[in-house]
Structure 1
Amino acid sequence: MGMFQWGVRQSAEVENLMISVERVMEYTELEKEAPWESNKRPSAEWPSQGVIAFENVNFTYSLDGPLVLRHFSVLIKSKEKVGIVGRTGAGKSSLIAALFRLAEPKGRIWIDKYLTSELGLHDLRKKISIIPQEPVLFTGTMRKNLDPFNEYTDEELWNVLEEVQLKEAVEELPDKMETQLAESGSNFSVGQRQLVCLARAILKKNRILIIDEATANVDPRTDELIQKTIREKFAQCTVLTIAHRLNTIIDSDRIMVLDAGRLKEYNEPYILLQEKESLLYKMVQQLGKAEAAALIETAKQVYFSKTYPEVIQNGQVVIDSSIDASSGLIISETAL
C-alpha cells in the first residue's frame, strides 16, 4: 500500500513538472521583439525637444487580434502637457504601448525627427520615463531600486528622496538606502511605491514623461504631492498623462479624447468645454453640477492666464470691454 501511494504521488509530481516544461516551451516559441540596438543610433542628447508625432498609426497586440488604435494621427509639441482621457477600452494605454513598441505598430511614430521603428528598443525605451498605475519595485536594496546601474552619487539619491518627501521614511529603515526591500516592495504603501517611481523619473532627466493613471490608487495628499512635483520638475518636458480623475488633467495644455481606438477630440480644455456636444463636456457633466462647474472654472482660468494674462487679477478672470473673448476663441481654433 505504501509503494502504491508513493507511486501515485510521484506520478502527480511528474505531471506537474511536465506542465512547467510546457510553459517553458511556450516561451521559446514566442515571437521575438525587435533588436535592442540598431545601426541608426541617436545622439546622447536625444530627444532634446520632446516632439512626438503619430502618423496614421494602427496598433494591435497580436497578429490576429483586434485593432486597439485606428488611423491614429496627432502632433504633440515640445514641452506640452497633454491629458489623455476616454472610457475603458478607448485605447489610452494602447497609445503608450505603441510608443514603447510593446508590439510593433503599423504607421509611423516620430520623436524629434527619429522614426521609432528604426531605433533599437534600448535606445528608445531608456529615453522615455514612465510612472505606471501599478508601481514596480524590485527585490533588492532601495539604492538598487532608485539607481540599478550605479549612475548617480549618494548626494543625488538623497536629494531626490527629499524632493518626493521619502527621505525620512528611508532614513528610518534599518540600513537606510542599503535596506533589502520585500518582494514587490510590499513593506511600502502604494503611495510610497509611486513616489519611488517618481524619484526614478526625476533622476533620469528624460525629456518625455508618461504618467499612466499614476494617482488612481493613492490618497489625495500623495496625489497632490505628485502633481506638484511633476509641475515643478518636468516643466521643460513633454508630459503625457492618462487620466483617471479629470481634475488632474483639466489644467493641461491640451486634452486628447479617445473613443474606440480613434482620436475624437484634441484641443485646449476650455475650448473643448465650450462645445456642449463634445465628449469632454459630457464626461465633465457626468461628475455632477458642482464638480463640473469647478472644472470648467479651472479650465477657464488656465486658458485666460495663457491667452490673455492681462485679464487675470488676483486669480480671477476680469473681462475688459476692449477684449473680445469670443473672437479670441475663434482665433485660437483657426490657428490650431
Structure 2
Amino acid sequence: MAGVNVFSAFVISLITNLVTTGLFVKLLVLDRGSALEFFLIYNIFSFERILENLQVVIAEFINSLKYLKSTEGLMNVPHERGFREVRETQWVEEGRIQFEGFSVKYSDELETVLSGIDVRVARGEKIGVVGRTGSGKSTTLLSLLRILEAHSGRILIDGTDISALDLQSLRAGFNVILQDSFLFTGTVREFEEQSIIRALELCGLWEAVRARNGLATVIEEGGDNFSAGEKQLINISRTLLNPKRIVLIDEATASIDSRTDRLVQRVISEQLSASTIITIAHRIDTILSSDRIIVLDKGKIVELDAPHELLKNPDSHFRKLYEESHTSKRDSNSSRRSSKFLY
C-alpha cells in the first residue's frame, strides 16, 4: 500500500510538471523574460521532489521483488516428514502418554533441548509443566505435535509410537489451546446454535458475542476484532464443543485477567474431567490443582510429584518458583497502589 501511495504521488507530480510546462510555453509567447524566470524558480524545487519520489518508488519496487522471492521460497517448502492426506481422528482411545528416553534438538548442530525424558501419564491425568525460560516447557508440546522430531527415544500414546503416525492423524487426535490464539475469517456459528451458546456461556463469553451480532458475528482476519483473552476463550469454547482424549494447553491463560482465569480453570476442570490434560504453565496458581507437576530445568526433569508434596519441601525447585511468583505479584500490586496514590 505504501508503494502504491508513493507511485501515485510520483504520477501526480509528473502531471503537475507537464501542466506547468504548458503554462510556461504559453507565458513564453507573451513575455519571454518572465517565463524564463518562472521556469527556473519552479523547476529547482519540483525536479528535486520528482527525484525523491522516484527514489522511493525504486526502493519499494526492490523490496517487492524481495517479498516475491520469499513467497516463491515458501511455495517450494516440502511437506513435513510424515505428512499425508489422511485424518483418523478417533485413534486416541484412552489418552495415555509415555516418554521413553526422549531427547530432541532444534537442529543437528545444536545441543539437545530436552534430554532423557522418562515419564508416564495415566488416562485422564492432569499434568502441569513448569520451569524457567528456556527450560524446555514449550518444546514438550512441540514434540508431542511432532513439529520437532525425536533425536533419540520415543513418545507413545496408548501404546502407539507417534513417529509411525501420519501428522494429520496425530494432530487431529488432540485439542490444542495456545497462548497466541489465531482465528480464521468467518462467523462464530459452526455447530448447532444451542451447543455453541452453552459453550460460550461456560467460558463467560456469550454476552460479549451477543452484544456484537450474536452467532452471526463476523470474525475479522486473525480475529483482530477480538481481544487476546477473548480469542483464547473462543478456542476453549471450541474445545468444549469437540472434546478429545488429550488436551494440550500452552500458557492458555496468559492474556486473561485473574477472574476470567479462575472461570476458565473451573470450566476445564469440570467439562474436560475425562481428558488427559498437559498444561504448560504461565501462572503457577493455574496448575496447583493438577495431579502432578513436572519441573524442567535445562531440558531435564528435576522434579515430578503432586503439587502439595513439592510445596511441602522448602528446598524444591517448584517451591522456589511458587514463592518467586507470589513475591512478584505482591510487588506488582504495591506498585499499582503507589501509582494510584501519586496520581
The TM-score, its normalising length taken from structure 1, stands at 0.76
Distance 1:277 1:37, change over 3 A: same
* Cα-to-partner distance string for 1:35-85 (whole Å, 9 max, x where unaligned): 33388x86x533121100111111122343432111212111111111111
Describe the SS at the equivalent of 2:208. Answer: helix
Q: 2:90 aligns with which of 39, 45, 51?
A: 45
In structure 1, what is the Cα distance between the partners aligned to 2:263 and 2:323?
A: 27
* Cα-to-partner distance string for 1:204-262 (whole Å, 9 max, x where unaligned): 21011111111122111110110000010111111111112211111211000000111
Q: 2:216 aligns with which of 171, 178, 181?
A: 178
- Aligned partner of 1:82 in structure 2 is 127
1:216 aligned to 2:254? yes
**Could you tell me whether the CA contact under 8 Å between 2:90 and 2:173 is conserved in 1?**
no
**Could you tell me whether the CA contact under 8 Å between 1:37 and 1:119 is conserved in 2?**
no
In structure 1, what is the Cα distance between the partners aligned to 2:299 and 2:185?
A: 36
- Aligned partner of 2:333 in structure 1 is none
1:121 aligned to 2:175? no
Larger Rg: 2
Distance 1:276 1:125, change over 3 A: same
Q: 2:201 aligns with which of 136, 139, 162?
A: 162
Shift of 1:102: 1.0
Distance 1:4 1:163, change over 3 A: closer
* Cα-to-partner distance string for 1:312-334 (whole Å, 9 max, x where unaligned): xxxxxxxxxxxxxxxxxxxxxxx
In structure 1, what is the Cα distance between the partners aligned to 2:227 and 2:326?
A: 31
- Aligned partner of 1:307 in structure 2 is none
Q: Would you say how many aligned residue pairs link Structure 1 and Structure 2?
A: 281
In structure 2, what is the Cα distance between the partners aligned to 1:242 and 1:134?
A: 13
* Cα-to-partner distance string for 1:111-165 (whole Å, 9 max, x where unaligned): 111111111111111111111112222222222xxx4xxxx32232222222222
Give the counterpart letter for 2:103 in structure 1.
Answer: N
In structure 1, what is the Cα distance between the partners aligned to 2:275 and 2:286?
A: 17
* Cα-to-partner distance string for 1:3-23 (whole Å, 9 max, x where unaligned): 867764553343122211221
- Aligned partner of 1:254 in structure 2 is 292
**Could you tell me whether the CA contact under 8 Å between 2:85 and 2:168 is conserved in 1?**
no
1:229 aligned to 2:267? yes
Describe the SS at the equivalent of 2:109. Answer: coil
* Cα-to-partner distance string for 1:245-295 (whole Å, 9 max, x where unaligned): 211111211000000111111111222233333211222333468x99xxx
Shift of 1:170: 1.9
- Aligned partner of 2:68 in structure 1 is 21
- Aligned partner of 1:12 in structure 2 is 59
* More deviation, 82-91/68-77: 68-77
Describe the SS at the equivalent of 1:286. Answer: helix
Give the counterpart letter for 1:140 in structure 2.
Answer: G
- Aligned partner of 1:95 in structure 2 is 140
In structure 2, what is the Cα distance between the partners aligned to 1:13 and 1:190?
A: 33
Describe the SS at the equivalent of 2:93. Answer: coil
1:70 aligned to 2:115? yes
Describe the SS at the equivalent of 2:61. Answer: helix
Distance 1:288 1:231, change over 3 A: closer
Give the counterpart letter for 1:108 in structure 2.
Answer: R
- Aligned partner of 1:313 in structure 2 is none
In structure 1, what is the Cα distance between the partners aligned to 2:107 and 2:72?
A: 19
Distance 1:30 1:72, change over 3 A: farther
Q: 2:79 aligns with which of 27, 32, 37?
A: 32
Give the counterpart letter for 2:272 in structure 1.
Answer: F
In structure 2, what is the Cα distance between the partners aligned to 1:230 and 1:100?
A: 21
**Could you tell me whether the CA contact under 8 Å between 2:127 and 2:293 is conserved in 1?**
yes
More helix by share: 2
Give the counterpart letter for 1:36 in structure 2.
Answer: F
- Aligned partner of 2:237 in structure 1 is 199
Calculate the aligned-residue CA RMSD, in Å. 2.6
Give the counterpart letter for 1:279 in structure 2.
Answer: H
* Cα-to-partner distance string for 1:75-106 (whole Å, 9 max, x where unaligned): 11111111111000000000000000112123
Describe the SS at the equivalent of 2:99. Answer: strand
1:263 aligned to 2:295? no
Shift of 1:25: 3.7
**Could you tell me whether the CA contact under 8 Å between 1:62 and 1:103 is conserved in 2?**
no
In structure 2, what is the Cα distance between the partners aligned to 1:284 and 1:6?
A: 58
* More deviation, 53-62/196-205: 53-62
Describe the SS at the equivalent of 1:129. Answer: strand
In structure 2, what is the Cα distance between the partners aligned to 1:170 and 1:38?
A: 35
**Could you tell me whether the CA contact under 8 Å between 2:143 and 2:150 is conserved in 1?**
yes
Give the counterpart letter for 2:95 in structure 1.
Answer: G
